[in-house]
Structure 1
Amino acid sequence: MPDTDRPQELPARLLTDPEMIEACRVRDFARVFRLVKTKAGIYPSMIARRCDLTPSRVGEVIAGRRQLQHMDVIERISDGLRIPGHMLGLARRPWETPQALAVSERQAPQPPEPEQQTRASLPGPDVDSILALATQTKLSAATLEAFRSSIQDYWRRDDQHGGETLRPAIVGQLRYVVGLLKEHRPPSIQNGLYGIAAELARLTGWTYFDARQYHQARAYFTEALHLAKEIDDRQFMANVLACMSLQATYQDKPADSLALVTAAQDQARSALGTTPRVLSMLSMREAFAHATLGNRAGTHRAIGEAHRHFGRIRPSDPDPSWVTYFDEPKLIVDTGIAHGRLGEAATAEPLIADALRREARTNQRGRAFHSFWLARTQLDQGKLDQACHTATQALEPASAVASERVTGHLREFYDQLAPHRQEPVALAFEARLRELLPPVSGSPRP
């Protein structure tokens, strides 16, 4: 009798079936489970065992009475049914590594170094799980504050170095906090955990967005929305929708961007105690959406609203921690970028230059990003020497941070230089580009 609990590959004909592909893409697990049953012979009770779900929950999903939206559940379905991660909007799963590759890595064993021996002495993940079950997790307000402090540290390091290398740690902490939510706790602690999980999900989505992996970013942003909705944190839901609006501008979906930021503003206005800083940030995201649509009047109106709200900020305002980054230099530089998106380069240039002079030097990604915007506005006005000088200065912070978004803006500026490639200042920029950012696949090649 075959071991039905052992995960095995789904038939290739099912994984390539257009109906299965579409069901996975939209995460319609009722359809997924029905297709797995009819075309792979994996019945609901087997689905439940493999995915660590209860049979009744699987039955409710198939009947359309329940939806599965939490990321940890989606990951268990991917792993239990062996559905490749990309089909469900996830990162590549560990089991997707070809077996031949895994074997070849062990063909020439080397004597372990002392450091390797130390690592091998640590308990494996299965043992960690058993020990966790035997330990009662005690949480207090101080524990929640420690979680929030670690999130702030993640954001700081993300600004300095990019989020690519941080992502595994962030996702690990997200899974840990989601696991804690399964236990019964006092409402104040439980609500705090939901808020922390929502922030970690948004941060994970942000790292994917900054890497221009938009499908994965949207999945985690959506998870953050669900978690925030559990505690009716409408300000935070507005924040996540604003992130999704910004992403839509990068995906050249300006109508989606405007719809998302309008929904964000609706959430913020319906919340009690929404602060002027939050409303100012949301108005500026609205300006970006209008500018991407080419709507000059809408952009100028939204910029005016952003500055009006910012002028109402008081030191005593109970601003959420996630909006404190939106200070005066950020307001000014975003105003300049909105004008730049409209093609109003002469208005944009002094605003971006002023903000850069006041921006913290530890924010490597922000300085690179804003410097490339300044260079673009200078080039748009025919100031070739200034533009190349500004872009050259931007290369050092750009080389210090792993950000595909920054690299994308570098490509755009490099393409804009095409008519001037033989000019001495453009050649000097290219030489510095070669030195600091060696070409990789898909990056500009001087």
Structure 2
Amino acid sequence: MPEADRPQELPARLLTDPEMADACRARDFSRVFRLVKSRAGIYPSMIARRCDLTPSRVGEVIADRRRLQHIDVIERIADGLRIPGHMLGLARRSWETPPILATTERKPPQAASPEQEPPVSLPGPEVDGILAMATRTTLSAATLEAFQSSIEDYWRRDDQHGGEALRPAIVGQLRFVVGLLGTRRPSSMQNGLYAVAAELARLTGWTYFDARQYNQARPYFTEALQLAKEIGDRQFMANVLACMSLQATYQDKPADSLALVTAAQDQARSALSTTPRVLSMLSMREAFAHASLGSRDATHRAIREAHRYFEQIQPSDPDPSWVTYFDEPKLIVDTGIAHARLGEAATAEPLITDALRRETRNNQRGRAFHSFWLARTQLDQGKLDQACYTATQALGPASAVASERISGHLHEFYSQLAPHRNEPEVLAFEAKLRELLAPLSGSLRP
């Protein structure tokens, strides 16, 4: 079918126009076709092709010499002109819900059998010889700096585009570094390699977590813990446990989430040089866990602790690089999300709004993630028009990053709109949603 003849959205302003709504309700297709021609630029010949009607029949309808009453013809008009079913007294049409947002039953992730389980960290035997040659190379401080730079670059690109495309490179580097650990080296060099391997393992786990592949994420998080334990890096162990706590929250396992973040705080407090920023981040993760459990007082107490620790931060603090992302806008937005998880939408909305104004635009995933939270708080307060506007603004950054977590938040917001499907704001939002997401079905899936 030629591109010009393919069904396309009618302008939202036409679908929400009272005159169009009245014409559709009366099934007065003479008026409908005239409005479609004058307001959307779809001429009678195009109407005929899209609705599988003859041009002469369309002309007779427009001239009020023929009326269309057969249900199959009315359904073809709805589908050909993309008129929502309820406007013509029909059931909701299949195309009204973008395929990538259609609700499908998700099977619980299956644990891979031993013979199918991909190697977590060790290379295959054919790679051992290659790595053995590499280990004979003299490593230097510059080598460790190069590893750290690559990790920082991975995280930056993960924020901008998502980590799934990066994962093969990250896993390859992880295997390479783990291979280097098999040779005795000066303790400073060996500890540096363990730290690099631990961060690469955590990053790999994170990419699986962001893709909602939780069973695949857990072995890498566990490996990161083991590598950090080898060198007694309790702060980093706390960081990994905090990641696992967040994952448990997404898996709807709030008790596990609280147990993991409590263990993370124990590790951090037993370390010699844990910074206030790290403790603030961990307190906020604790707030998430309590909020998921519905514990209002405990959530508020953890939020206060997070802010108290944050106020103690000094520019000279030796913060590890992995916690520098936890700045003031992040503290504020996480505070808002914790309140939102408790159902305290009126408290959450201004916090998330303020944080979004101050966030860097380089973190596409963060902006999309926080915008969908904002839209949900607005919807919870009955601010339907604001919620739809906010969610529409979030589609831009959401489309720029491959993240199953983001598509999950979009899907949840879309599901919450179900009671309002016939409202003009939702009709306009759905039209924009289909327009923007049609090319993205490979990157945004429920």
Aligned match of 2:364: 364
Cα distance, 1:440 vs. partner? 4.6
Aligned match of 2:288: 288
Aligned match of 2:168: 168
Q: Does 1:319 align with 2:319?
A: yes
* CA gap 1:385/1:266 in 2 versus in 1, 3 angstroms: same
Aligned match of 2:299: 299
Q: Does 1:249 align with 2:249?
A: yes
Query: Does the 8 Å contact 2:132/2:179 carry over to 1?
Result: no
Aligned match of 1:423: 423
Aligned match of 1:399: 399
Cα distance in 2 for partners of 1:368, 1:271 equals 35
Q: Which protein is bigger by CA-based radius of gyration?
A: 2
Cα distance, 1:425 vs. partner? 1.4
Query: Does the 8 Å contact 1:414/1:444 carry over to 2?
Result: no
Query: Does the 8 Å contact 1:197/1:227 carry over to 2?
Result: yes
Cα distance, 1:435 vs. partner? 2.0
State the aligned residue count: 334
Query: Does the 8 Å contact 1:349/1:374 carry over to 2?
Result: yes
Aligned match of 2:117: 85
Cα distance in 2 for partners of 1:204, 1:258 equals 23
* CA gap 1:290/1:130 in 2 versus in 1, 3 angstroms: closer
Aligned match of 1:33: none
Cα distance in 2 for partners of 1:146, 1:262 equals 34
Query: Does the 8 Å contact 2:111/2:215 carry over to 1?
Result: no
Cα distance, 1:436 vs. partner? 2.1
Cα distance in 2 for partners of 1:141, 1:436 equals 47
* CA gap 1:262/1:134 in 2 versus in 1, 3 angstroms: closer
SS in 1 for 2:360: coil
* CA gap 1:443/1:418 in 2 versus in 1, 3 angstroms: farther
Cα distance in 1 for partners of 2:251, 2:269 equals 27
For 1:202-281, list aligned pairs within 5 A: 202-281=202-281
TM-score by length of 2: 0.71
Cα distance in 1 for partners of 2:200, 2:228 equals 11
SS in 1 for 2:399: helix
* CA gap 1:411/1:269 in 2 versus in 1, 3 angstroms: same
| Residues 315-355 of structure 1: per-residue CA shift (max 9 Å, x gap) | 00000000000000000000000000000000000000000
Cα distance in 2 for partners of 1:148, 1:204 equals 15
Structure 1 residue ranges, 4+ long, deviating more than 3 angstroms after superposition? 24-27, 128-135, 439-445
Cα distance in 2 for partners of 1:349, 1:163 equals 29
For 1:94-243, list aligned pairs within 5 A: 133-134=132-133, 136-243=136-243
CA RMSD of aligned residues (A): 2.5
Cα distance, 1:370 vs. partner? 0.1
Cα distance, 1:434 vs. partner? 1.3
For 1:322-341, list aligned pairs within 5 A: 322-341=322-341
Cα distance, 1:26 vs. partner? 11
Cα distance, 1:133 vs. partner? 4.0
Residue type at the aligned position of 2:357: R
Cα distance in 1 for partners of 2:431, 2:403 equals 21
Residue type at the aligned position of 2:234: R
Cα distance in 2 for partners of 1:329, 1:346 equals 19
Cα distance, 1:85 vs. partner? 2.1
SS in 2 for 1:85: coil
Cα distance, 1:431 vs. partner? 1.6
| Residues 231-273 of structure 1: per-residue CA shift (max 9 Å, x gap) | 0000000000000000000000000000000000000000001
Query: Does the 8 Å contact 2:161/2:402 carry over to 1?
Result: yes
Cα distance in 2 for partners of 1:132, 1:176 equals 7
Cα distance in 2 for partners of 1:132, 1:184 equals 14
Cα distance in 1 for partners of 2:415, 2:336 equals 21
* CA gap 1:224/1:133 in 2 versus in 1, 3 angstroms: closer
Query: Does the 8 Å contact 2:280/2:305 carry over to 1?
Result: yes
Query: Where in structure 2 are there 5+ consecutive unaligned residues?
Result: 1-109
Cα distance, 1:423 vs. partner? 1.4
